[in-house]
Amino acid sequence: MVSPDVFPSKPRIARGGGALLSCAGGLCGGFLSKAHLLFLALAALLVTAPFAAYGQDVPGGGGPGLFGEAVDEGLVPATPQTREDSFGFAWDITNAGTVTNSSRECFESAAQLSINGAPFTFHSMLATSDGKEYVVMGNAGNFRIMRRIRLDEDLGLVRYYDVIESKDRNDFKVNVTLQTRFTQRWDKIVTSNGTELTGKTLDRGETGFAVLSRTNRSAALWLISGPRRRSRPEIALTNGNQVEVKFSVPLRAGGRAAILHYVGQRKRLKQEDVKAQFATWQPRGSLPGIDVLAMGLRRVVTNFPPSALGATAMAPVGPLLTRLEALFNENWQLERGPEDTVVLNAETRLTGKLTGTARGELTTNWGKVSFGLDDVAGIVGGGGVGKMQTVFFRDGEVLTGRMTLRDLKLTLAGGGAGTGGATPAAPWTLDVNPDQVLAILCRKDAALEGKPMQGVAAFAELATQDCLGIVDPAAALELNCAWGPLKVQLADIETLGAVREPQFGFRLVLRDKTSLLVFPTSGDVELKTARLGALKIAPQMLLKLSSFQQSAAADPNEGDEGSAEAGQPGAPGGDAPRPTIQLIGENVIVGNLAAENLELGTISGPRVLPTAQIVLMERPGEDSGLAAAGAQVFAVQMKDGSKWTGRLKESVIALRFGSRDAATGQGGSVLSVPVEHFLSFQVPEPPSASGGGDSAEPLPPGVGASLRAPSDIRPGPGRGDHPGMDELPTNPGPSDTGP
């Protein structure tokens, strides 16, 4: 059958530049017969049914194809209206997607959205045909935004689905802020477990919070996160009448990510009732009203686990073909299914089954590749104008070049064009010339795809739009960072992505979550590829190197009740989490202090501190009065709870990280970092025996918090020496002199 395009128009059969298709059986000259032309014209008339506004060019909406999962919904133009829930609260939905309470009993405005500090600007407001869900399109800075807002009158809860689309070529994190202003001052924030929030984030097991007032007026509640998400939003109550919730959202190159959150109101809610209220919203762990949100939209939600979003339908698309599916979704609003699709032109597609016995050949920048039709997931290019073709292989590789693929036939789905009650004709079988069509999308086949070629441990994305499977995980890359040369095994790398600012380099992320800005050594990068053998690639051509693991489809943000630390920094393959070291320039090392001891000059004299006993080492906070004392002043906490503040004798700190021998703990890389570049060292809390995320032997209070000294302390003048430390005491109290 013919699939409709998002821009309905008169059917058109393209001519010129050679035949797009011809009937099997050798019609003279390769042109279509009159009967066949009639069939295609009748089939093309099926495109008259318009797609919904998401597929169309909504004014200001960012162009066609934005968030293609939402097509075919029958969206209609909408204007803001006041709604009322079963609890008697009025909800005013504005055209920017914020919610106001016309009675002004609770808040002035809720869920004002900004991305990296740029406020959301609305372009158009639509609604589903039943009028129950608003869809707001717009921008925030350089990002395209779609907000979907739905009030559940019975639950008294407004659901927000905010999706962000990136056009950047690199992966990065964006800061998403939701701001709410109230009509009154508030007393405290209580978590979904009924306890008062004392830090900036929810604890494990908590999913949201409520803001309560002193006068028992209406309370505001938010459901914002899964109970075991590792990346938890920050919550801040400022000026007594404003709440900000901040998410750090990973966004893949050219990809999308969404935040799902809920806001509600309750009258005279008390702290002891908060936990029960949240329990009514998730009686069996699933999110309220999630079944009305399209599955394609749920796939990109980052702050809730698949189990809360409908686990049976949340099977991952698979990391190998994400780029292919995004490309066809964006340009032609197509999703892969059980049949093959040939995109003839902007208006016409043909669906059926592709067959071909001859092997194809692709001449690339790196050499020639031979392949069979079963190897291919999709082809883009040709178009009758001699464009080079990009072939997407089912094993995840992508290659661009001049393609030869003959003897390709399409048997149309549904047979011929039988009309007027007549028996349909036999199925049409057409010859397909890939050089003359825009694209080919091959059917899904679980038996043929979802895994790379034998031995592939990583994929290299190149500026030529190629994506090459890399073998030989024991091979090492030679790189440089600010503190010396590095030799990193391919098996240890999670990603190596090109960055352009402030100068050309790469962001290296290891499997243990070590993250460093690195620079290529002189000369080309040598990589051994699966299809093309050993290649030498100029560093400027390498956009990204990503490891492939069979577990890659698992949710990287979701904890496991039986393995609380799986995927934590320093924990690849289930290893115990290792300490995290923060350096300047957003560089992070997951490793250890290489020296056996460090010497700290304190008010009571020099202290030799065994590094194995240090749980926290950081610069004093700005309010301690010691921030200007020099780069070598640190606050240190030991396993026994003792705290010390003083000047470090060492001017250079050695750090060990990377793969180590399991028996000896030795090996890996060692970097010597000037103390001026060292920001902090922290040992994570050990998981409990039950895996609940709480420490089996709780560390003393204060671990992980800034260690402060009185504000009237004068910093000593020394740098690297102990003279002057009598003017630099540690925190007052029992820990001043140590054990």
Say which residue the tokens 């240890």 belong to.
Answer: 492
Query: What is the DSSP-derived secondary structure letter of residue 274?
Result: H
Strand segments, DSSP code E, in 101-241 are: 107-115, 118-119, 121-127, 133-140, 143-152, 157-165, 172-182, 188-191, 208-212, 219-223, 234-238
H or E, element range at 598: strand 597-602
What are the tens digits of pLDDT across the range 144-174?
999 999 999 989 999 999 999 987 777 778 9
H or E, element range at 308: helix 306-310
Model confidence at 621, in pLDDT bands (50, 70, 90)? low
Tokens at 484, concatenated: 């010396």
User: How far is 347 from 339, CA to CA, in rounded Å?
Assistant: 19
Tokens at 467, concatenated: 């994506």
**With the C-alpha atoms ordered 18, 22, 28, 31, is the resulting torsion angle positive or negative?**
negative
Q: Is the pLDDT of residue 312 over 90?
A: no
User: How far is 653 from 655, CA to CA, in rounded Å?
Assistant: 6
Tokens at 300, concatenated: 């990109």
* Residue 638 pLDDT: 94
* Residue 37 pLDDT: 39
Cα 356 to its chain centre, rounded Å, is 38
**With the C-alpha atoms ordered 526, 529, 532, 533, is the resulting torsion angle positive or negative?**
positive
Tokens at 147, concatenated: 């907000």
- Which SS3 state, helix, strand or coil, does residue 353 take? strand
H or E, element range at 544: strand 542-547
C-beta separation of 303 from 229 below 8 A: yes
Choice between 174 and 237, residue whose per-residue pLDDT is larger: 174
What are the tens digits of pLDDT across the range 570-612?
544 445 668 999 999 889 999 999 999 999 998 889 999 999 9
Model confidence at 416, in pLDDT bands (50, 70, 90)? very low
The structure's pTM equals: 0.55
User: How far is 85 from 106, CA to CA, in rounded Å?
Assistant: 14
* Residue 51 pLDDT: 26
User: How far is 160 from 151, CA to CA, in rounded Å?
Assistant: 9
What are the tens digits of pLDDT across the range 249-305?
988 777 889 999 999 989 888 899 999 999 888 765 678 888 888 777 887 888 888
- Which SS3 state, helix, strand or coil, does residue 380 take? strand
Q: Angle at the Cα of 716 (from 637 to 596), degrees rounded to 5? A: 40
User: How far is 213 from 217, CA to CA, in rounded Å?
Assistant: 6
Say which residue the tokens 């298709």 belong to.
Answer: 21
User: How far is 514 from 588, CA to CA, in rounded Å?
Assistant: 5
- Which SS3 state, helix, strand or coil, does residue 562 take? coil
Q: Is the pLDDT of residue 74 over 50?
A: yes
Model confidence at 23, in pLDDT bands (50, 70, 90)? very low
| Burial of 414 per CB tally in 10 Å (0-12, 13-18, 19+) | middle
Model confidence at 230, in pLDDT bands (50, 70, 90)? low
Q: Is the pLDDT of residue 15 over 60?
A: no
C-beta separation of 599 from 610 below 8 A: no
Average pLDDT over residues 64-93: 72
Choice between 718 and 125, residue whose per-residue pLDDT is larger: 125
User: How far is 220 from 331, CA to CA, in rounded Å?
Assistant: 42
Q: CA neighbours within 13 Å on the CB side: how many for 714?
A: 6
* Residue 95 pLDDT: 87
Scanning 154-225, the segments in alpha helix (DSSP H) are: none
* Residue 681 pLDDT: 94
Q: Which candidate, 33, 265, 28, 15, places its Cα nearest to that of 156?
A: 265
- Which SS3 state, helix, strand or coil, does residue 680 take? strand
Average pLDDT over residues 552-580: 48
- Which SS3 state, helix, strand or coil, does residue 284 take? coil
What are the tens digits of pLDDT across the range 94-144?
888 898 765 566 778 889 999 999 999 989 999 988 888 999 999 998 899
What are the tens digits of pLDDT across the range 351-386?
999 998 789 999 998 899 999 999 999 999 887 777
| Radius of gyration of the chain measured on its C-alpha atoms | 30
